[in-house]
Amino acid sequence: MKMLREQVAWCTRAQWVMGICALALLVGFYLVGYAPASHRLAELDRQIANTRSELANTQGKANTLTMITKDVQKLKEKLENSKKLPSQNDLPQFIKDVEMFSRNSSLRGYTQNVLKPIRNETYWQMPIELKFEGDFNKVFTFLQQTEAQKRLTRVKKIELKAKDHDPGQVQVTLTMNIYYLTE
């Protein structure tokens, strides 16, 4: 029996030693393996979340940039098709064009009076007074042709008067400005 007791005592000690070894291995695994891996995994999850957030912001900015690029292209096209401000005084050509428009529209009594030019810092403003008469539709066509020119013009004042005994006929006094750059 003594031997049996010694064997039981020896087995009990062996169980305690193995239990302590198992506990030491478990603590060692936690401290050396599991805890650092968990911390690293949590850090990677934070980095992924930050990167996704940054990606969403960047995609939003990229979409905005694409829209801005399209808007800039549209504005460039609009600018290319807009009226131009000549770099020099092209009054003689402008007068020829307006006279041609008046002849094409069959206007009568066409006269023009070039008024004193006004100089600003970056451009000249040249007022021109036009007087003519004709059928309302033809006057309208003349005004459309004058406005459709590629050069910059602005109507400052326009007076339309119906002729008393001639239906559809109007007398027009028009003051407009043409512009060109200062030299």
Write the pLDDT tens digit of every residue in 20-34. 999 999 998 888 888
49: confidence class by pLDDT, cuts 50, 70, 90: very high
Element containing residue 173 per DSSP (H, E):
strand 169-181
* Angle, CA of 176, 178 and 180, to the nearest 5°: 165
The tokens describing 21, both together, are 């070894």
The verdict on 115 and 176 lying in the same domain is yes
Our measurement of the distance from residue 135's CA atom to the centroid of its chain's CA atoms, rounded to an integer in Å, reads 44
The predicted model scores a pTM of: 0.54
**What CATH code is carried by the domain that includes residue 126?**
3.30.70.60
User: pLDDT value at position 45?
Assistant: 93
Nearest partner of 159 among 135, 131, 183, judged by Cα: 131
In DSSP terms, 108 is beta-bridged to 133
Interatomic CA distance for residues 92 and 94, integer angstroms: 5
Greatest pairwise CA separation for the chain in angstroms: 150
Instruction: Say how many domains are in the chain.
Output: 2
User: Which residues span the domain enclosing 171?
Assistant: 91-181
At 132, the amino acid letter reads F
> Are 85 and 180 contacting, i.e. CB atoms less than 8 angstroms apart?
yes
pLDDT in tens, 63-117: 888 888 898 888 888 777 666 666 667 788 888 888 898 888 888 888 888 889 8
The verdict on 97 and 177 lying in the same domain is yes
Interatomic CA distance for residues 88 and 86, integer angstroms: 5
Rounded to the nearest 10°, the torsion over CA 138, 141, 147, 150 is: -120
The verdict on 51 and 113 lying in the same domain is no
